[in-house]
């Protein structure tokens, strides 16, 4: 992998470790390991560490991106003739928060005096699930399309989380080469004897 990194630096002049990992379909840590290895050979490459922040969907956020927001699922679970609140709470995942948010958005209305217990009806003729659309945008790295208020709300609802991503910008070093030459170790008899005698003195043998 180290040789591959050198080849890409030679071809492009500079590379980003994350972009290279994506291009090669390799784990980013494997690329980082190759960079660290190259740094041990002196000035083959120059590596500048970069820390970026990005938003990622939580498990719950991925569920919403796939199946719709909790409030939208509550809305769509209500038939045109309405249904009991108990039925919604029983059959819709995360119904408690979904019911509250759907009421807040003005999508549904509840008749607390209905015969047989509180009844829920649709108030809006149709809805737009903005939360699901925005989370799908985040999955596609279209972060700039969301407002700071939306990000803060989704974070509060634990649909997204902010993570720190460390990558490296790699350029050619002063001694750049496509060939990795390991330093030679002189292990002739004289050097071995010298090393042995020095260690005897240190250890008091």
**CATH 3.30.1370.240 domain range(s) in the chain:** 2-55+163-203
Q: Fold for 2-55+163-203, please state it.
A: Ribosomal Protein S8; Chain: A, domain 1 (3.30.1370)
Query: Which tens digit of pLDDT belongs to each residue from 136-164?
Result: 999 888 888 899 999 999 999 999 999 99
The yes-or-no verdict on residue 127 having pLDDT over 60 is yes
Query: Which tens digit of pLDDT belongs to each residue from 4-50?
Result: 889 888 889 989 998 999 889 999 999 999 999 898 888 889 999 99
The yes-or-no verdict on residue 196 having pLDDT over 60 is no
CATH number for the domain running over 59-161: 1.10.10.2330
Query: Which tens digit of pLDDT belongs to each residue from 166-188?
Result: 999 999 998 888 887 765 555 55
Query: Which tens digit of pLDDT belongs to each residue from 58-106?
Result: 999 999 999 999 999 999 999 999 999 999 999 999 999 999 999 999 9
pTM of the entire predicted model: 0.66
**CATH 1.10.10.2330 domain range(s) in the chain:** 59-161
At 202 the pLDDT is 53
Which phi and psi (to 5°) does residue 22 adopt?
Answer: -65, -45
pLDDT, average across residues 124-131: 96
């Amino acid at each position: 992998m180290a040789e591959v990194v050198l080849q890409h630096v030679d071809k492009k002049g500079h590379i980003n470790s994350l972009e290279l990992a994506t291009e090669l379909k390799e784990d980013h840590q494997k690329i980082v390991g190759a960079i660290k290895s190259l740094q041990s050979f002196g000035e083959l490459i120059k590596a500048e560490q970069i820390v970026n922040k990005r938003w990622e969907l939580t498990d719950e956020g991925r569920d919403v991106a796939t199946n719709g927001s909790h409030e939208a699922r509550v809305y769509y679970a209500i038939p045109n003739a309405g249904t009991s609140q108990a039925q919604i709470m029983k059959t819709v995942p995360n119904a408690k928060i979904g019911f509250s948010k759907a009421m807040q958005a003005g999508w549904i209305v509840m008749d607390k005096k209905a015969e047989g217990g509180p009844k829920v009806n649709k108030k809006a003729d149709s809805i737009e699930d903005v939360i699901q659309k925005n989370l799908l945008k985040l999955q596609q790295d279209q972060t700039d399309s969301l407002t700071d208020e939306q990000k803060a709300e989704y974070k509060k609802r634990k649909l997204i989380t902010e993570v720190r991503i460390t990558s490296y910008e790699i350029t050619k070093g002063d001694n750049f080469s496509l060939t990795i030459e390991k330093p030679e170790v002189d292990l002739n008899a004289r050097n071995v004897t010298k090393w042995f005698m020095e260690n005897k003195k240190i250890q008091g043998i």
